[in-house]
Structure 1
Amino acid sequence: MLQDAEIWLDGFHGFTPKEYGVIEALLRRCARVSAALCMDRPYGAGERPDELDLFYQTADASARLCATAEAAGATLEPPVVLRPGVAPRFADCPMLAHLERAMDGRRRWDGGEAQLQPEHPRCGLSIREAASRRAEAEAAARDMLRRVRKDGMRWRDMSVFARNLEDYGELLSSVFEDYGIPYFLDGKASASQHPLVEFVRSALECVIGGWRYEAFFRCAKTDLLHPQGNTVARASVDALENYVLAAGIDGWRWHDDRSWYSLSARDLEEEEDEEDGAARGGPSMQAIRAARDALLAPLRTLESRFKRSKTQADLSRALYLLLEETAAPDRLELWSRHDELAGEPLRARMHRQLWDGAIGLLDQLVELMGDEPADPALFAGMLDAGLESIRLGVVPPSLDRVLVGTPERTRTDRISVLYLLGVNEGIMPRAIKDDGLLTEEERVKLAEAGVAMAPGARRRLLDEEFLAYLALTAPSRHLWVSYALADEEGQSLIRSSLIGRIRSWFPGVPVRSESAEPQPGSSDEAQLSFAVRPGRALTHTVAMLRRHRQGDALSPGWRSAYRWLVEREPWRSRLSVLLSSLRFSNEERPLRPETSLLLYGDRLLASVSRMERFVACPFRHYAAHGLRLKERRMYRVDAPDIGQLFHAALRQTTEKLLMGDPSAGDAGLWHSEAAAAVERLLPKVQSQILLSSNRHRTMARKLSRIVSQTSAMLGEHAALSAFRPVGLEVDFGPQGIMPPLSLYLGDGRWMDVAGRIDRVDAAESQDGTLLRILDYKSSAVKLRLDEVAHGLSLQMLTYLDVVVTHAPHWLGRPAKPAGVLYLHVHNPLLHTANGLDETGAEEAIRKEYRMEGLVLADGEAVQLMDESLESSAKSSVVPVEYKKDGSFSARSQVADGAQWETLRKAVRRNISKIGKRIVDGDVDIAPYRLGKRSPCTVCEFRPVCQFDGQLEGNRHHALRRPANKDEVWEWLGEDEGEGGDES
């Protein structure tokens, strides 16, 4: 068949050892074999070109071809040297003809300066400097469009080369799609991000790596982990992931049904309900388990087969069965047909190629090491490396496209214009790293011994000059050379030395700067060159209008572009949307009445903490209670979990030891009861997280010591006080033991204030029953009256108002306010320079547990709270201190009866104002600032509101501190306005 054939080899610059073997076989069989090579003179067998020769690569290939022909017994014909004065393809472009000759010498352009200007019709060279790689790519795209429109060129007449296509490939794809330029990216596409590759990787990582959460859901989200006939919806996968993150499912817990139970609410003392998720509007446990079982089944089968595998071939067979049983080939075929219908033939072909490549890789593994003993880790590693190396060949879907490639790979044929991008130092020519196993000296010795090797670092560095020659001489009409001054991260880049050499061959050639957007000071024509397509015109018109608002002049061309966009749909609608950004201020308009009614109803039910959240920032309240946004629940111990544990343990301990009024001073009993309460509650904290590891068990012991120590101090306080609990976790509201605090908001609207009071204490005085509120805090808290006036601290005073108001019905007798107190739940560390004896240490601990807050300025009431307090001493129980004359000191946190009434009215007034603002639809992004404090530092909705003090309309609601106590009481006594606001 080949005996009478004539073979031509063209477009090659060198050959591999296998290719030389093929050529030798052709020489033995064919009638004639001809090779065309790019070099300055012929080289025969045995000739060695100088290693610094520009054409070393092709000259070496010529010499080896001659030697191969002699070895095959072929007759060598005299070489035909094509050396015209000017290469035919440069006949119409003297500048490129000069550049080709200058590459191997130091010739200077003598054709006149006029042709060096890009505007000249015969200019064959442009050098462009761009601020960034994107600006560089967009400048090239604009020039392409100009040549197609004005010069009538075809897309196939132009090509783009980049030495570092890894930096420019995706960027050029994005820019060309944006500019509507058809293109073909020459190269084999990596398959590493394809769902099939991720499916195989993550499935193996899951069953071999211990069922890690991350690997499982990477596998599930490929949409390939579905047993035949049992597709799991993505919404079910998302719900399962939310549950797994909240319940801490990982490793062996995937297979332990005892770990899969309904997530409890934050209240540790509520009974768990198996279907509690469905009751709260989320998926039920039945639905979660169903999604889990469906997704786990194929992986469990794979794991079982891996365990039974004896050889590596068995492992390959097990993986192939997984792909078959999950209908992976059918899914890929479905995706391929879908992409074909969507006009994406390259993507459609990729799915089919990848399946063939994956199956071929399994076959190779079986052939290579099929009989080796089964080693799942080794198998997974080799398969991962093989998948990473898969490259998918692509062909252009049509001929009339811009070819994008690299000088060393891409072969161009008769292109008129070449855009050579990224001509920066270290990139072109490329800085070659010597990272091989052999040194250059060892390579030389092996080459002298006749061992054929791939080119080393030195040879590849010298070949960079030949690659530059190929790139610079590829076009026949115009060469565009450009470089960027910065990369994507803003790091500076340096232009290549090749730019300096080109300028030495063409003295006076200008270097034009390319910006990413039009510059107001440039000509109208230069600015409008950016408006090459309607989409680009839209973007740049809006950008120029924004700069015009900032004081820059607006050229007539942009006014014309604006009119063109306004007169045509859909550009008019898009322009309207973008123009709204010019007037953007990060502000929220009030909700419409019907929207507010839909969200909150005609009778607003709210807690006090909700109203405090509104005062902190109305939008934060709206996000939490209007939009009902919430953070994804995670398997970790957060401050709310610790607070719930403290409250529940102290409630149980107090209920057992104080409600029945046993001996309150037995510290040992308090310690033991508190420890027992914590032990009962630990399994209910965040799905048993405090029992899940040694680290968490250590944390649990620390928390238990804190509760025990605090409980002991509660017992000591009880021994010194006549106040006793009359209610623990007291609910008030529609379903509570007391009715809600109902306030009329006007316009027929009401607000019911509901809540749960941690602890209510009562004592009998000569004037009747006294009530106080006690709250447990995991951090030190004080009641600041200015924060009460601003509406930031209303909870405790509202609770006291509720119990005093409803005392006749709840307790059967009227009552008066005695105070509100915070107890810091902690285990203090004592710091002292000289040490403390036991008595001193006990006294120091008592001081650390002194409650903060506000109490009634009445000697009898204070004595009932601390019976050990003398008339000229400082209480270790409540924030009271007597002066020598028996009066309260200025440091005492007390208020007389009239002031308590002022507080009650101020709190109700504040609550009414807040409620009215809520139902009126106030959702303003206005976080407060009080001194250095702002809720933004701990707000979970910051990514939603995007509050930024630099944006128009974003300003903190500034609150000020009072000058003294008298001023804050003036604020509290005001009937209207918020006296503490700053203008």
Structure 2
Amino acid sequence: MPLTLVTGPANSEKAGAVLDPFRAAIRRGAILVVPTFGDVERLRRSFVAEEQVFGVRIEQFGGLLDEIARRTQVRPRPLGDHARRRVLAAAIGDCALEELAEAAETAGFVGALERLVDELRAQRVTPARCTQALTAWAADGDARRARYAAELGALYTAYRRRLDGLRREDPAGYHAAALDTLRREPATWGDDAVFVYGFDDLTGQQLDALDALGRATAVTVSLSFEAGRQAFAARTGVFHDLRAVADSVRELPPNAEHYAPQSRDALHHLERGLFEEREHALFATVAAGGAIELLEGGGERAELELVAASVARLLREEAFEADEIAVVLRTVDDVAPLVEQVFAAHDVPVSIDRRVRLGQVPIGRALLGFLRAALLDGDATELLVWLRAPGVVRATGALDELEREIRMTGARSAADARALWEAKRFTLHELDRVRDGARRGGRALCDAVAAELMRLLALPHRAADDPTRGSAPILTADEAIDAAACRAVRRTLEEVAVLSERHPGLAPSPAELVRELEEVQVRAATVASPGAVAVTDPLTIRARRVRALFACRLQEGIFPRTVRPPALLDDEDRRELARASGLILPRRDDELASERHLFYALASRPEERLVLSWHLADDEGQPAVRSFLVDEVIGLFGDDPQARTHRRELGAVGWDGDEDGREALRRAASLAPREREAPIAPLRDPGLLAGLAAREALSASALEAWAACPVRWFVQRALQADDLEATPEALARGQLAHAALEAVIQALGAGTEDARLTTDKLPQLRRLVREALAEGARETPLSTDHARIGILARRLERDLLRYVEHAAAAGSPLVPTHTEVDFGAGTEESAEALVLAPGVAVRGRIDRVDVAPDGRAVVWDYKGRAAKPYTKWVEEGRFQVAIYALAARELLHLDVVGGLYQPLVGADLRGRGALRDDPDLGVPVGRDDVIDADAFDTVLEDVVAEAVRVAGELRAGALRPQPATCGVGASTGCQYPTICRCEE
């Protein structure tokens, strides 16, 4: 049967030479083979538009190989990708490695071995032939090379032994067997002609398939190639391989008629001259004109913003249709999110064909979270990810509450989070079902995972109010991606399940299965449509024409990409292997020539406009070098297209000359003088103001909060938003310290002589402190980080022990009598509020009151380090200890002679505040804290006056920013800038 080879440069009517005979052969039976899935979809639509529906069969090369295997009845089906990787991993485990031991521990080793095995399998290399060739290659080397060669041979032998034991083939061996059968029995194919279109390169396996098919049926193959051209240097070997098996070769001449008239001279000149020597007669002076545009961005985002703006202009001002434009990137996956974001900002719809990992797909994130929570003792967030998947829990408020509980309690594990959930809500039986499957292993585990996956897919459509309930809705773009993820996962699970059933030793553990699923690739793509601009890569665009093409990110290292030699046996090793043994493996030392050809194919696709773009730096400011491919294009034209380069600086906003629209507003805003937003104003809501005015008693701490910053008081005391985070460690420490000291005083016998702190009681005091802390820690955990609790507990114990030792050493006659005294709380147990002035009452809680035998009393307020002397009380709004002293005097009817802040941390543990100059109290205080009786009363009066003033402001809602005093402790400055809107 004839094999016809059709060659020619780009735009030489190769499409007509292949597709027209295919159309004529459809009724008799024919298969068209194209490079990519996108080509399959595009050509199917074009044939539908021609009213040719039935009998049109279009496949990628993998589909053609599968069809050959089906017709030649090769059995059984080969291992799938995931099952095969498990066999490769098992083969690695079978070998005692030394030279390759470290490499074998890396994540990429299985993939590198897989690629080498495929090359050997495609050439039908037996383990014996492989070992012989590697031994010959290593003969002239050192001992390390000999070990390296021996271990490679052992790995290939172990892998083939594993396959033989399974009685299965891998895909390369399966297809090789099918091709060998086809050569022996060509009649098994039938009469269907085969047409291969759009390829500019073919692998060894693909060449093998065409050779075998050429013996069985009529085959027509098109190949972009023109002898003597530098742009085709990388394809010379493929051309000669095909010509050797072809019955006829049809060489087509270049044709400029496909280009738009206004761009024909420039674009045809580009196709004919790219990468050729400049002195060639072909290079007359030609102007690029408007056919070639150059875009230079200061950064990656700036470049894409230029591209998006240019595409938008073509759509809105030059009557281009979206499906006439292609944006091409050397690799799409790594930059797709930024492309989507930038083009959306310009209202340009795009269609991006890319592959992502399962965890990047919504249903995949939910499934992996579920499995980690159920099988791997995952953390609490994994359980939340699953529970937040659409339909799993419909009461989303319950999930918000669970998240709050997790944060507040410091729950770390999924088991802890599950316990919190099930304590108040329903049991999560799904976790138990997949755990049961894991206990049984193999097929049971895979089936349990598949069941949960399908449940996740169906749950969003089970709601009673779902309009698609009970119907078969057309999937949205996101739902289509979820469905694609389900297909990919179920295919993987079925591969693993079958392997586990037949060979239990290869069944994955739960952890291994989760890792397998994490690596599942999902095609996250929308089919290009008339309403969207295609964002694609050079390999996908090479078989179609567009009106305008944007070649983006033309940077050194990206396009052309950095040459990466094979991980096992580099190019030099392969040359030596071929010389020593005759075993020829593919090399990549012509990678640059391949990249040049790929750029040639790309640059020949537009009919009217070619736009080249690059950036000068990445978005962190690191320099990036423009690809030499841009210079190759610029050098072809005599009108210096580089002088017309459109540029955009890194971080630029808006656009010059854009008179309307959102971008004009953005630019105007960026160039305008900065306007400060007015800070928060006093409260105006009548209801809120009435509520403030009607408050019967204000707490002393609220007055202090207002004095520090009214806005802070408003956020913390008026808005009262529930915290998502747990109690801060400093606050938890203070709460536990207060509780522990109260417990110690009560245990001593508060109000009795036994409660006096003396040195002879130190052993008892130390014991009581430790017991009180241990008991209090059950109610007040010091941290949600369990690793820190022990450290924090030891620090607090040390500080409280130092304090009681300090207090005992003072030898004061004061007896701790009252602890944690509430006043004005409105309960039966509490005293009445303290009236500071007509209409102004305060409430609070006194930490401790010590009373001497003669009735004199000192009020204490525990602090960390922030113990302030009385001279700072009015200035800094420190009201509490003065108000507590007045409350003890007025409400407890005590002769209060001092009010002191007691620091519990630091080297100096003396109380700070105001103490009347009375003898025999033995209270250790700062020298400046002792004052006479009149001064003591004056201090209290001054605090009352300031507190009354602050209370008046508070009840009037007179908010104003005070950023200088808003922060607490180490948190200086404004704490709520988005609410306050002040600038320090």
Contact kept, 8 Å, 2:756 with 2:816, in 1: the verdict is no
Tell me whether 1:908 sits opposite 2:937 in the alignment. Answer: no
TM-score for both structures, normalised by structure 1: 0.72
1:547-574: CA deviation from partner (whole Å, max 9, x where unpaired): 2x43xxxxxxxxxxxxxxxxxxxxxxxx
* Cα distance between partner residues in 2 of 1:519 and 1:676: 66
- Which moved further from structure 2: 148-157 or 900-909? 148-157
Match of 2:200 in 1: 13
Cα deviation, residue 169, structure 1:
2.2
2:796 aligned to which of 695, 700, 703: 703
Cα gap change, 1:365/1:452 in structure 2, threshold over 3 Å: closer, same or farther?
farther
Whole-angstrom distance in 2 between the partners of 1:381 and 1:511? 56
The answer for the alignment partner of 2:259 in structure 1 is 89
Q: Which residue of 2 aligns with 1:401?
A: 532
Q: Deviations over 1:922-966 (max 9, x none)?
A: 33332235xxx9548427983564778xxxx423xxxxxxxxxxx
How far apart in 2 are the matches of 1:690 and 1:538?
51
- 2:899 is matched by which residue type in structure 1? V
1:805 aligns with 2:805: no
Structure 1 unaligned segments of length 5 or more: list them: 43-51, 70-75, 117-121, 261-286, 551-581, 829-847, 867-876, 881-890, 956-983
Q: Is 1:892 aligned to residue 892 of structure 2?
A: no
- The offset of 1:89, in angstroms, is 3.4
**CA shift at 1:732, angstroms?**
1.0
1:17 offset after TM fit, Å? Answer: 4.1
Give yes or no for contact 1:821–1:851 (8 Å, CA) kept in 2. Answer: yes
**C-alpha displacement at 1:342, in angstroms?**
11
Q: Indicate the residue corresponding to 1:865 in structure 2.
A: 921
Q: Secondary structure at the match of 2:408?
A: helix
Whichever residue aligns with residue 772 of structure 1, its letter is V
Question: Counterparts of 2:367 and 2:360 in 1: how far apart (Å)?
Answer: 12
Q: Please report how far the alpha carbon of residue 450 of structure 1 lies from its aligned counterpart in structure 2 after TM superposition.
A: 6.5
User: Which is further off, 203-212 or 795-804?
Assistant: 203-212
1:24 and 1:622 map into 2 onto residues whose CA distance is: 81
Please state how far the C-alpha of 1:493 moved relative to its aligned partner: 1.9
Aligned to 1:755: 844
**TM-score with structure 2 setting the length:** 0.72
Residues 67 and 380 from structure 1, CA distance in 2 versus in 1: closer, same or farther, beyond 3 angstroms? farther
The number of aligned residues is 784
Change beyond 3 A, Cα 1:663–1:361: closer
Letter in 1 for 2:656: Q
AA in 2 matched with 1:299? L
* 739, 760, 763: which one aligns with 1:648: 739
Q: Provide the rounded CA distance (Å) in 2 between the counterparts of 1:204 and 1:716.
A: 60
Give the alignment partner of residue 728 of structure 1, picking from 816, 819, 823: 819
**In the alignment, what sits opposite 1:380?**
511
Structure 1 residue 105 corresponds to structure 2 residue 191? no
- Listed one character per residue, the Cα deviations across residues 730-759 of structure 1 (whole Å, up to 9, x for unaligned) are 1111336432123558xxxx4431101011
* CA distance 1:912–1:596, shift in 2 (3 Å): farther
Task: Write the distance in 1 (CA, Å) between the matches of 2:257 and 2:566.
Answer: 40
Percent of aligned pairs with the same amino acid: 20
CA–CA distance in 1 between the matches of 2:506 and 2:866? 57
Q: Summarize the alignment of residues 487-886 of structure 1 with structure 2, pairs less than 5 Å apart.
A: 487-507=618-638, 508-509=640-641, 510-515=643-648, 527-528=656-657, 530-531=658-659, 537-544=661-668, 547=671, 549-550=672-673, 583-585=675-677, 587-597=679-689, 600=692, 602-603=694-695, 605-634=697-726, 638-657=729-748, 659-662=751-754, 664=756, 667=759, 669-685=761-777, 687=779, 689=781, 696-697=789-790, 699-717=792-810, 720-733=811-824, 734-735=826-827, 737-743=830-836, 750-763=839-852, 769-779=855-865, 781-785=867-871, 787-806=872-891, 810-811=892-893, 815-826=894-905, 848-856=908-916, 858=917, 861=918, 863-866=919-922, 877-879=923-925
Q: 2:364 aligns with which of 193, 197, 200?
A: 197
The structure-2 alpha-carbon separation of the partners of 1:898 and 1:330, relative to structure 1 and needing over 3 Å to count, comes to closer
Distance 2:399 2:417 in 1: 17
Residue number in structure 1 paired with 2:219: 33
Cα 1:211–1:37 change in 2 (3 A) is: closer
Counterpart of 1:565?
none
Residue identity opposite 2:763 in structure 1: H
CA distance, structure 2, for counterparts of residue 676 and residue 771 of structure 1: 24
CA distance in 2, matches of 1:730, 1:798: 13
User: 1:662 is paired with a residue of what secondary structure?
Assistant: helix
Offset from partner CA, 1:16-47 (integer Å, 9 cap, x none)? 344334423432332x32212111129xxxxx
Cross-structure match for 1:129: 296
RMSD across aligned positions (CA): 3.8
In structure 2, the CA distance between the partners of 1:298 and 1:940, relative to structure 1 (3 Å rule), is: farther
Q: Per the alignment, do residues 151 and 694 of structure 1 end up closer, same or farther by CA in structure 2, a change over 3 Å counting?
A: closer
Q: Distance in 1 between matches of 2:770 and 2:791?
A: 13
Q: How far has the Cα of 1:796 moved from its partner?
A: 0.7
Give the Cα–Cα distance (whole angstroms) in 2 for the partners of residues 342 and 355 of structure 1: 17
Say which of 170, 181, 185 aligns to 2:337: 170
- The residue type equivalent to 1:613 in the other structure is A
CA distance in structure 2 between the partners assigned to 1:700 and 1:393 by the alignment: 51
Q: Which residue of 1 aligns with 2:75?
A: none
Maintained 8 Å contact 1:429/1:464: yes
1:310-354 deviations in Å (ceiling 9; x for gaps): x42332133234446x5644547989969x999974323222222
Query: Cα 1:941–1:450, aligned 2, differ >3 Å: closer, same or farther?
Result: farther
**Secondary structure at the residue paired with 1:418?**
strand
- String of CA shifts for 1:466-525, please: whole Å, max 9, x gaps: 1111122221222111111222333332222222332322252224232269999x9xxx
Contact 1:55 1:466 in 2 (8 A): yes
Counterpart residue type for residue 338 of structure 2: L
The answer on whether the counterparts of 1:925 and 1:945 sit within 8 Å (CA) in structure 2 is no
- Residue equivalent to 1:315: 445
Match of residue 433 from structure 2: 301
Helix, strand or coil: the match of 1:756? strand
Equivalent position to 1:480, from 611, 617, 632: 611
Q: Does 1:290 align with 2:424?
A: yes
Contact map agreement 2:759 2:805 (CA 8 A) in 1:
yes
Alpha carbons of structure 1 residues 802 and 143: separation in structure 2 relative to 1, 3 Å: same
What residue is the counterpart of 1:938 in the other structure? 971
Q: After superposing the two structures, state which structure 1 stretch, 312-321 or 686-695, moved more.
A: 686-695
2:904 maps to a residue whose letter is V
Structure 1 residue aligned with 2:54: none
Residue 240 of structure 1 and its aligned partner are, at CA, apart by: 1.8
The one-letter code sitting in structure 2 at the alignment partner of 1:660 is T
Q: Name the aligned partner's letter for residue 389 of structure 1.
A: V
- What letter corresponds to residue 376 of structure 2 in structure 1? G
Q: 1:85 to 1:331 in 2, by over 3 A?
A: closer
Map residues 41-56 of structure 1 onto 2, 5 A cutoff.
41=227, 54-56=231-233
After superposition, the C-alpha distances for 1:154-186 in whole angstroms (9 at most, x for unaligned) are 222221112242354223322333333333223
CA distance in structure 2 between the aligned counterparts of 1:342 and 1:686, rounded to whole angstroms: 54
Distance 1:906 1:780, change over 3 A: closer
- Report the residue type matching 1:774 in the other structure: W
Report if aligned partners of 1:192, 1:387 keep a CA contact under 8 Å in 2. Answer: yes
**Structure 1 214/346 Cα, relative in aligned 2: closer, same or farther at 3 Å?**
closer
Alpha-carbon distance in structure 1 between the residues aligned to 2:793 and 2:721: 31
Structure 1 partner of 2:964: 928
Distance 1:87 1:821 in 2: 96
Amino acid at match of 1:35: V
Preserved contact between residue 125 and residue 480 of structure 1 (Cα < 8 Å): yes
* DSSP-derived class of the 1:923 partner: coil
Is the contact made by 1:588 and 1:925 (CA closer than 8 Å) also made in structure 2?
A: yes
- Judge conservation of contact 1:90–1:96 (CA < 8 Å) in 2: no
Matches of 1:168 and 1:189 in 2, distance apart?
Answer: 12
